[in-house]
Structure 1
Amino acid sequence: MRHIYRCPLRWADMDAYGHVNNVVFLRYLEEARIDFLFRPEKDFKQGSVVARHEIDYKRQLVHRHSPVDIELWVTEIRAASFTLTYEVKDDDLVYVRASTVIVPFDFEAQRPRRLTPEEREFLREYTDDEEEAVAA
């Protein structure tokens, strides 16, 4: 299953050419990630940090008033990290493909932690293919 976030485009997001600035896409991914992880019914209450981003720009997104869709799903689950993959798109037109490695983090102890069984179960619901998820 994939999580879909309807991301609004803002006037300040565009560059001098009227396109959404490449750096802004990282904020869009953050908004989609927060919308996915921090919902009332499924909350990563203990916290997490981003360990790595990879982003492939496929085409320019021209500023407009309608939102763009961000599809997000889980591609890997490990003992103490997981990978989210994204497509920023309109129907079949993809602007960006990206991935983020996220590490669960205990802010009180100031160290990484393992995923809880509840977090693992939640993440498994969003794998496109159960065989892709690595049970560690």
Structure 2
Amino acid sequence: MRHLYRCPLRWSDMDAYGHVNNAVFLRYLEEARIDFLALRAKESKEGSVVARHEIDYKRQLVHRPTPVDIELWVTEIKAASFTVSYEVKDDDLVYVRASTVIVPFDFETQRPRRITAEEREFLQRYTDAAGEEAVAA
């Protein structure tokens, strides 16, 4: 299953040419990731940190008043990290494909930690299977 986030475009996201600035896409991915991880809705001193981003810009996104869709899904789950992939798109028109490696983190001890069984179960629900639709939270 994929998570769907409807990301609003802001006037300040534009560059001088009227396109959404490439650096802004990282913030869009962050917003989608926060929306996705909030589905667990669990108060804790544990969280996560980003270890790596990879982003492929496919085409320019022109500023407009309507949101852009960001589909997010889990592509890999390891013992102490997981990878999330994204498509920023309108229907079949893809602007960006990206992935992020995320490391669970204990903010109290200031150390990375392993993925718990509960977290693994949650993440596995969002591994992408062929033909599945994106689901908005």
Give TM-score, length-normalised by structure 2: 0.91
Q: Secondary structure at the match of 2:28?
A: helix
Give the 4+ runs in structure 1 shifted more than 6 A: none
- Is 1:101 the counterpart of 2:101 in the alignment? yes
Q: How far is 1:43 from its partner? A: 3.8
* Partner in structure 2 of residue 132 of structure 1: none
- Cα contact 1:37–1:44 (8 A) shared by 2: no
- The superposition leaves residues 102-131 of structure 1 with CA deviations (integer Å, 9 ceiling, x where unpaired) of 0000011110000010100000000014xx
- Cα contact 1:9–1:66 (8 A) shared by 2: yes
Q: Secondary structure at the match of 1:71?
A: strand
* Partner in structure 2 of residue 62 of structure 1: 62
Runs of 5+ unmatched residues, structure 1: 130-136
> How do 1:16-27 and structure 2 match up within 5 A?
16-27=16-27
Instruction: Tell me: CA distance 1:31–1:44, structure 2 relative to 1, closer, same or farther (3 Å).
Output: farther
1: distance between equivalents of 2:62 and 2:87? 16
Q: How far is 1:42 from its partner? A: 4.3
* Partner in structure 1 of residue 13 of structure 2: 13
* Partner in structure 2 of residue 75 of structure 1: 75
- Cα contact 1:38–1:44 (8 A) shared by 2: no
Runs of 5+ unmatched residues, structure 2: 130-137
Q: Secondary structure at the match of 1:33?
A: helix
* Partner in structure 1 of residue 91 of structure 2: 91
1: distance between equivalents of 2:43 and 2:102? 11
1:119 maps to a residue whose letter is E
Higher RCO (C-alpha under 8 Å, 6+ residues apart): 2
1: distance between equivalents of 2:96 and 2:59? 7
* Partner in structure 1 of residue 118 of structure 2: 118
2:97 maps to a residue whose letter is R
Percentage of matched positions with identical amino acids: 83
1: distance between equivalents of 2:17 and 2:43? 38
Q: How far is 1:38 from its partner? A: 1.5
Q: Secondary structure at the match of 1:15?
A: coil
- The superposition leaves residues 7-50 of structure 1 with CA deviations (integer Å, 9 ceiling, x where unpaired) of 000000000000000000000000000000013x4448310000
